[in-house]
Amino acid sequence: MICGMKIYTRGGDGGSTGLFGGRSVSKADPRVEAYGRVDEANAMVGWARASDLPPRLEEVLAEVQATCLRAGAWLASPEKDPGVRALSTDDVAELEKAIDAFEEDLPRLKTFIVPGGCEQAARLHVARTIVRRAERAVVALAAAEDVPAFVLPWLNRLSDLLFVAARLANQAGGIEDVPWKPRSSRA
């Protein structure tokens, strides 16, 4: 139970949901799609965290999950302040700081790499692609309505962080990046 309330309300049984602030919209509304995709990304980051990551990745990803919840709250609140701190340049800068620190320990990339490797890295790569899907949903929403500032830059940077985190997880597992070797179009 949440705050002594039942988890089910039956309010969405007809295909609509209430946004924070009271407006009811279809569950297929672009706003619901956007915050739903951020929620999906957050769940995948949680699954990646459940795979015994190096402590410094674990610490950063715990903060990422908290920020995903903040981003979702703001996306679900077009008419009312949700009561949580809005995303800011500081949130984007924190991701950049973590990316830079993680990259210091990794070999420089010279080509695309094939996603995968150890289980931890594979989960982080899936999380990265889900974040990209969330980013596309927020872009689609932004074409029709205002979106909270810094959500898009933060999601963009988050996918970069997850890419670097996957490489770091592979390195911690003793697995080298697998370079992509495209076949020639001439067979």
Residue 41 pLDDT more than 50? Answer: yes
Pick from 68, 80, 76: nearest CA to 135:
68
Whether residue 113 is contained in a domain is answered as yes
Average pLDDT over residues 88-110: 96
- Whether the pLDDT of residue 186 is over 80: the answer is no
**What are the phi and psi torsion angles at 78 (to 5°)?**
-70, -20
In a domain, 39, yes or no: yes
Classify residue 70: in a domain, yes or no: yes
Over range 4-16, report the average pLDDT.
71
CB 19 within 8 A of CB 81: no
- Does residue 72 lie in a domain region? yes
Domain at 110, CATH number: 1.20.1200.10
pLDDT tens readout for residues 124-146: 999 999 999 999 999 999 999 99
Does 5 fall in a domain? no
> Is 177 contained in some domain?
no
| Residue of 4 and 72 predicted with greater confidence | 72
- Domain tally, the chain: 1
Q: What is the pLDDT confidence band of residue 3, given thresholds at 50, 70 and 90?
A: low
41 within a domain of the structure (yes/no)? yes
User: Residue 101 belongs to what domain range?
Assistant: 28-172
Q: What angle do CA 161, 167, 168 make, to 5 degrees?
A: 85
In a domain, 91, yes or no: yes
- Determine the Cα–Cα distance for residues 129 and 31; give it in Å rounded to an integer: 20
- 42-61 pLDDT tens trace: 999 999 999 999 999 999 99
Select from 135, 180, 177, 173 the least CA-distant residue to 57. 173
